[in-house]
Structure formats: structure tokens, C-alpha cells
Amino acid sequence: MTGIEVGIASVLLIVALIYTGLYITVALGLVSFIGVWIIRGDIEFPISLLSLAVADTVSDHVFATIPLFALMGLIVGQAGMGKDIYDVANRIFRHIAGGLGIATVAANAVFAAITGSSIASASVFTRIAVPEMRHFGYTARFAVGVVAGSSVLGMLIPPSAMLIIYAIVAEQSVGQMFLAGIIPGILLSVAYSVMIILMAKFAPNFIGGQGKGMADPGERLGLFGGLRKMTPIALLVLVVLGGIYGGVVTPVEAGAAGSLTALVIAVAKRSLGWAGLWKVLVETGHITSVILMLIIAASMYSRMLGVAALPTLFAEWMASLDLSFVAVMVLYVIMLILLGTIIDTASIILIIVPLFLPAVETFGGDLVWFGIVTVVGAEIGLLTPPLGLSVFAIKSVINDKSISLADIFIGTFPFAVTMLIVLIAVIAFPVLSLALI
């Protein structure tokens, strides 16, 4: 087999293996190793490439952002800051039709800015927001839909693990990727809120909950209580994002400072004992090992593609089709959405970004902007069947057998459509992601 044949077959085989249930790390690493072996005909060459992939991953300090931000997010969840954010957002939006839905979007947006995890947001707000919305008459489909839909903000609003992974794959600045995610993240939050208001007006039966006189917890909160709940959160955002954008700390240092600040807040609130701290540290280790093994496998995969010369040939093939840049982006978005129905966001980034990067550079596209397009497009897959990781996270957490997976997918559909509209806007107007850089 020629290098190009091996390269194409490897991409198809990896997707097929993942779809059959094989771990993405095993699929990427195994197929890449065998692919290089077939191309070069010498087993020592793929062993050498694998050694380089491991060494590069372990030695690069950028990867330290992963365990540090994971640790910070887990401590924040343990400290109950998600509930504090929701209580304050609930008080602000409780008088608006669909107000609890908007409060959930706002709370998720803030929570995303201090955790960077969609799955964490989905898990936390399923426990907090869904029972509250159900209590005040909102439909089950809307309640779970708004939690799943707004949870994907954790992938976009910095700090975001997906932005970090893209920055590593595309060799871009993590700080610039964080800056680029701010405006699209805010835009998506606002779009969600506007959609909820419109649905409350034109499709009230889907939402429910109107005229219920909502949220007693918000009434009891008061101005002082709201400030008390938001002060630790504001402090954490200031330390992490203010430190990065103010040039005081690097993203790695910001992760360390944020973890320490979160730990101090959790101890001060007496919400984190020794047992809880040990649990957080162990879970951080699990998350870190999974992600780093994934990146090692992806590094091996990228090297295999390079040996097969597939990225260069793919870019030349795209150029030979005489497609416009718009047509290339349409094709890319379609691939993102289709892959999003079967595999997770990180896998999508690791599999197809190396293929399209040379083509985007050929057309003069900005790679930071391309990263935001990639993350937003891949996020849609978190809400679409058959995988929909946010949907499955909610189903695994929710304690209500009457709410099926189909109910959750139906509830998330308006949010997936809204996300697609925002994605089109980001593609059409690159300044939305580049204005702050």
C-alpha cells in the first residue's frame, strides 16, 4: 500500500473503531503505529516515533494547564459555587418569562469561566436547576434541554480544555485562544437567552412555567446575600482570567493560582475536608492521565499522517477542486457535525484538524479563528444523537425515570439550531473571535 492509501484507510479505520466502542486513545495509537510500520516496513521506525510523541508530550510545560484547570474545576464543584451562581442568576432573571431558563444559561456561562468543563456544568446544573424548574412548572424537556444546551459553554468560554487541546494540535498560543473564545462565548449565551424569550412568547407550551411566581430562594437571597455568594466567584475569575489577560501570569501559572485560590475558598467555606480533597486529587489524576494519553496518541497520529504525506496531499487535492474558501468551510462544518454525532469533541479536534490546517493556511485563514470555528462546530455534536456526551451526562445524573434520552435530545434541539446560527456568524465575521487579540 502507498502512503496515501494507508493514510486514508487509517482515518476511516479510526472512526470505525471508535464507533464500535474502542477507546479513542487505543484506536489512534494502534492504527497510527501499524500505519507507520506498513509505510516504512520497519518496526523500529514507529517505535522511535512513539518515543518522540511521549517525550514531547511529557516535556512540554503547556500540558501542565490540563491538570491544573481540572483541579480548579473539581474544587469549585466541591465548594458548591455552582449553586451560588444559580441562586444569584435566578434572582436577577426570575421576573422574565422563561426566567429560570435564562438564569441557568447565565449561571452556566459564569461557571464555564471558572471550570472550563461542559460535562462538569451538565452534572452540576442537572442537580441544581432541573428540580427547581420542574418545581415551578417548566416542562421536563425544556428543563433538561436548557441545562444540556448551556453546558456546552464550558467548551468555549475560557479557560477551556478544548481550546487548550486545539492550541496544542495547531501550535497556537493558549492565551490567544482564550481571548478568542470570549466574544463568541458571550454571543452564544445571549443567543440562547433571546431564543428562550422568543420561545416563551411563541411556544409557551414547550417551555411551561409562566406566571408561577418563581424562585423563593431568590427572594430570600437579598442584595447582601447575592454579593456574598458572588465575591468568591468574582475573585476566582479575577485571579485566573484577569491574571492571563493582564499579562501577570501565563496560562499554566493561572491554573496553579486558580487552583490555590479555589482551595482557599473551599476551606474558608468549610466545604472541603480531607476526604473531599483526596477525592478531588484522585479524580484530577484520572482526568489528566486520560487526556495526556489521548494527546500522546494524537501526536503519534499526526506523525503518521506526516509520514504518509496526507495533510499536504489533502491540501493539494482541495486546491485542485478549485473550491472557494467558503465552500471549504461548509465542507468542514458538515464533517464536524457528522463526526459529532458519533465521537467526542477532543477526538474530532485530534482527527480532522491536522488534515484541514494546511488547507486553511493555503487560503490565508487565521488559525486562531479556525480553532473557535472548530470548537463551536464540534460542540453541536455534544447535543446530537447518538452520542451527545452532555445529554448522556445529564441522563446519568438525573434522578427521574420519566425523562428519557429522547426527551433530552428533543429539549436540546432548539439549542443546537441556535448554536449553528452562531457558528455561521463566527465564520462570516472572523472579527467576532479576533477582536480581542
At 387 the pLDDT is 61
With a cut of 70, say whether residue 221 has pLDDT above it.
no
Does residue 212 or residue 200 have the better pLDDT? 200
Q: What is the pLDDT of residues 241-261, one digit of tens each?
A: 788 778 788 878 888 898 899
**Mean model confidence pLDDT for the chain:** 81
- Say what percent of the chain tops pLDDT 90: 14
Residue 163 in this model has a pLDDT that exceeds 70:
yes
The three-class DSSP label of residue 410 is helix
Res. 212 pLDDT band, cuts 50 70 90:
very low
State residue 217's pLDDT score. Answer: 45
CA-CA distance, 146 to 140, in Å (whole number)? 10
Among residues 36, 50, 32, 19, which one has the least CA distance to residue 341? 19
Q: Measured between alpha carbons, how far is 323 from 320 in angstroms, rounded to an integer? A: 8
Return all residues near 10 (Cβ < 8 A) that are at least 6 apart. Answer: 31, 32, 35, 301, 304, 305, 308
Q: Within a 10 A sphere around the Cβ of 358, how many other Cβ atoms?
A: 17
Of 161-170, 215-224, 230-239, 297-306, minimum mean pLDDT range: 215-224
Of 6, 64, 67, the closest CA to residue 31 belongs to 6
Please, which contacts does 94-97 make with residues 24 or more away whose CB atoms are closer than 8 Å? 94/214, 94/215, 94/218, 96/197, 97/197, 97/200, 97/201, 97/204, 97/210
pLDDT band at 225 (very low <50, low <70, confident <90, very high): low
C-alpha cell, 289: 492521565
Residue type, 343: I
Burial (Cβ within 10 Å: 0-12, 13-18, ≥19) of residue 217? middle
**Adjacent-strand bridge partners of 138:** 208
> Do 62 and 174 meet the contact criterion of CB atoms below 8 Å apart?
yes
Which pLDDT score, from 0 to 100, does residue 174 have?
85
Task: Encode 176-185: b = buried (16+ Cβ within 10 Å), e = exposed.
Answer: bbbbbbbbbb
Length in residues, the chain: 437
287-310 residue pLDDT tens: 778 777 877 887 787 778 778 777
pLDDT at 229 over 60: yes
Half-sphere exposure (CA, 13 Å, Cβ side) for 113? 23
* Grid cell for residue 254: 493561572
What is the grid cell recorded at 354?
Answer: 491536522
Would you kindly state where each structural domain of the chain is located, as residue ranges?
A: 3-434
pLDDT digits (tens, 9 = 90+) for 370-423: 999 999 988 887 787 766 666 776 776 676 777 887 888 899 999 999 999 999
Contact 362, 328 (CB under 8 A): no
Cα distance between residue 69 and residue 259, in whole Å:
7
Contact between 172 and 66 (Cβ < 8 Å): no
Q: What angle do CA 428, 429, 431 make, to 5 degrees?
A: 155
CB 218 within 8 A of CB 90: yes
Give pLDDT tens digits for 331-362: 898 888 877 766 667 777 877 888 888 888 88
d(CA 109, CA 107): 5
